[in-house]
Structure formats: structure tokens, C-alpha cells
Amino acid sequence: MLKLGFGLADLACTRFAFSPLWEVIASVRVLKSPGEHPLHRPWVAAVRPRLDASGLDWGMLSDLVPVPTRTIPAFVCPPPVTTSPDLEVELATMRSTPPGQVDAAGDSPRLAVLREDPATGLERLADVIRGYWAITLAPYWPRIRALLEGDVLYRARRLAEGGADRLLNDLDPAVRWEDDTLFVAHRHVSAVRELGGRGLLLVPSVFVWPRLFSVTAPPWQPTLRYSPRGIATLWERRTTGVPEALAAVLGRSRALLLAELDTPASTTHLSGRTGMSMGGVSQHLTALRDAGLVSAHRSGRYVLYARSEAGETLLSAAAPPT
């Protein structure tokens, strides 16, 4: 059991943040042991073949995330210092890790460069993470981010309605708030930690499911990573048709392609699913991308298209009420 002691200043400093870098690290656990994460099987089935075909050597990243996971070196995924950092901001923080903290890297031969030349090793690790992100997570990030943002909005309402008690007692079945202490039923940690005025950083994470992860060692702000609400619906197909209102604005073909991009897909796949010619699909996707409604991500020999955050918002707004 991990016990986190709060003072008045800690409640005032408690905040939420997202972490693309943490999602990278947590997703590696899922790829290495998919049987333990059945909820994410659709994602694994989609990205594993693309990752294998890409030729990316991600062994260095894999070695830093052991399975079963007891601990992960903190320098690999430091808690974010801003509410919504992008990946490059977090990689810059990682690359600035003092050499003494990089010594915590494991004894794998592929990690020797981190131990012997931390600056070079961290640059190499950042390059690996960029490649891994582009293939496995970037096409899905708008969907993931929408789920995380929805969870934070829900938590903010809980805080407004009932204060810290209602917020913290609703985080996870393994978390309990009582007498100014947060009790976390932790698989590998048994300790008492006073937050000491630093507050608690709450990070919703899709790939943390079904566990909780914590950071309590200095110099970082104490952090709790937990599963957001609605995680079970993350990989479901949510679009069953083309909203007529959207078709009237974009045209039926472009509205159909936007609806079909519930999961990232290539021009070939979209042509097969919609019956449009390859040239027609490519032309419509270019228009949608120029309008900021879809994004393109290279994966090996293929380019995958995905709805952007603007596309997700437009499709949701045009959907008929249920």
C-alpha cells in the first residue's frame, strides 16, 4: 500500500497533465505482453505488423521497459511540467537528464551507450522514440487525446461538485481518500510519502490499464498515472454512417472518407472499403488534409491517414443526437 499524505498546500497544487512520452513507454509494455492487455488487442493487431515492416530497431526502447514491469527508469518518462506537452517538449526534458540519473539504465548490451556516454545515448533513444511514435501512436493520438481530455473535464466537475473527496475517491477502485491521505493499493510499492507542498500530478493514461503507476522520488512532482473513464470503448468503431449534415457541407465522398477514418488507413484500404477509385480517394484526402481535417503518417512503404482533432470535432458535431 502506498500512502500519500496531503497538506493544504498539496491540495492547492494538485493538477492534471497528459504525457505523450509516457504513452509511448506504457504502450511498449502492451506490445511486449499483449495477452495481459486484452482491451488493447485491436491496437496491437493493427500496429505490430506495421512496426515489424518498418525495420525500426526499437530494441533499446524495449530493454528499458521490462516485462513483467516492476519499475521503469524515471529518466525515460519524467512527469510533464506543463499540462499538455507535445512529444518534442518531453523528449527535450529527457535529453537534459543529468548523467548520474542515466546510470539507472539496465545492464542490457543495447543500453551500454546510455551508461558510457549518456548524452549520445539519450539522443539515440530520442530518435528511436520518434520513430516508434510515428508508426504506433501518432495516427491514433487525436482519438487518445479526446478520451484523456474528456476524463479531465469529468474530474474537474467532480472537484467542483464535492471537492477533493469526490475527485480522489473516484479515480480508480485501487485508490481511496481518507483523513487527508490518499491510499493507493500498489502492486510493488509499500511506503508512506508526505507530498510536502508539491501537490500531486494526476496523469490519465490509456496504456496504463489495468494498473496504476506512481512516481514519488525527487526531483519530480509526485505523480499518479491512472486509467481514464471510457477506456473500454477506445478502439471501438464509433461511426456507422455518414451524417447528412456533414455530407451537405463537404460532399458525400469526403464525408464518407472522414467517417471511415475511425481507424488509420491507407489510400488502398480506403478505396477497397468505399468503392472509390484510388485516384479519387487520393484527391479527396489531399483536400481534407489541406483543410486540417485529416493527417498523414508514413509507416514503412505506406502512408496512413487519420482524422485530426479538428476532424474528430467536426464529425462529432455533425452526428445526429442519440
Q: Domain ranges in the chain?
A: 2-16+143-233, 20-139, 244-318
Check whether 81 has a pLDDT greater than 90: no
Check whether 83 has a pLDDT greater than 60: yes
Check whether 299 has a pLDDT greater than 70: no
Kind of pairing between the strands at 181-184 and 213-215: unpaired
CATH (residue range 244-318): 1.10.10.10
Q: What is the pLDDT of residues 105-134, one digit of tens each?
A: 667 888 889 888 999 999 999 999 999 999
| pLDDT > 90 in the chain, percent | 43
Q: What is the pLDDT of residues 157-208, one digit of tens each?
A: 888 888 888 899 988 899 999 989 999 987 777 788 899 999 999 999 999 9
β-partners of residue 5 are 181, 194
pLDDT at 183: 92
Amino acid identity for residue 42 in this structure: P
pLDDT at 103: 65
Q: How confident is the model at residue 145 (pLDDT cuts 50, 70, 90)?
A: confident
Please give the model's pTM, rounded to 2 decimal places: 0.79
